Amino acid sequence: MQRYLLRNKNKIALISGVLIVTGFIGKWFTGNLVFFKGALIVASLFGVAPIAIQAYQALKVKVVSIDVLVTIAVVGAFFIRNYEEAAIVTFLFLFGAFLEQRTLDKTRSAIKELTEMAPESALKQREDGEFEEVEVDEVEVGDVLLVKTGAKIPVDGRVLSGEGSVNEASITGESIPVAKEKGSKVYAGTILDNGTIQIVADRVGEDTTFGRIIELVEEAQDSKSEAERFIDRFSKYYTPAVLGISLLVWILSRHLELAITILVLGCPGALVIGVPVSNVAGIGNGAKNGVLLKGSEVISDFSRVDTMVFDKTGTLTVGSPAVAETAYYADDIEEVLGYLASVERESDHPLAKAVLEEIGETKFSTVEETEVIKGGGIVARVNGHRLAVGNVALMEREKVELNEKARADVARFEQSGNSLVLTAVDGELKVLMGVRDQIRPGVKEDLQKLKKLGVKNLVMLSGDNQGTVDVVSRELGLTEAHGNMLPEDKAAYIKQLIEEEGQIVAFVGDGVNDSPSLAFANIGIAMGGGTDVAIETSDVVLMNSDFSRLPHALGLTKATARNMKQNIFIAVGVVLVLLAGLLFSDWVNMSIGMLVHEGSILAVILNGMRLLGYKLR
Instruction: Give catalytic residue positions.
Output: 311
505 by DSSP, 3-state: which? strand
Give me the count of residues in the chain.
Answer: 617
Q: Measured between alpha carbons, how far is 8 from 558 in angstroms, rounded to an integer?
A: 40
What Rg do the C-alpha atoms of the chain give, in angstroms? Answer: 34
Q: How many C-beta atoms surround the C-beta of residue 562 within 10 A?
A: 13
Q: Are 593 and 578 in contact (CB under 8 A)?
A: yes
What residue spans of 398-509 are helical by DSSP H?
A: 404-415, 443-452, 466-476, 487-499
Q: Which residue in 28, 36, 45, 38 sits closest to 86, CA to CA?
A: 45
Q: Alpha-carbon distance 330 to 325, whole Å?
A: 16
Q: Report the C-alpha gap between 562 and 612 in whole angstroms.
A: 14
Nearest alpha carbon to residue 5 among 40, 41, 74, 57: 57
| Residue 613 to residue 132: CA distance in whole angstroms | 41
Contacts for 134-139 with beta carbons within 8 Å, 24 or more apart?
A: 136/204, 136/205, 137/205, 139/201, 139/204
d(CA 466, CA 485): 9
Report the C-alpha gap between 209 and 187 in whole angstroms. 7
Q: What is the DSSP string of 446-476?
A: HHHHHHHTT--EEEEE-SS-HHHHHHHHHHH
**Largest Cα–Cα separation, the chain:** 117
Burial class (CB in 10 A: 0-12, 13-18, 19+), 165: middle
Burial of 375 (0-12, 13-18, 19+ CB in 10 A): exposed
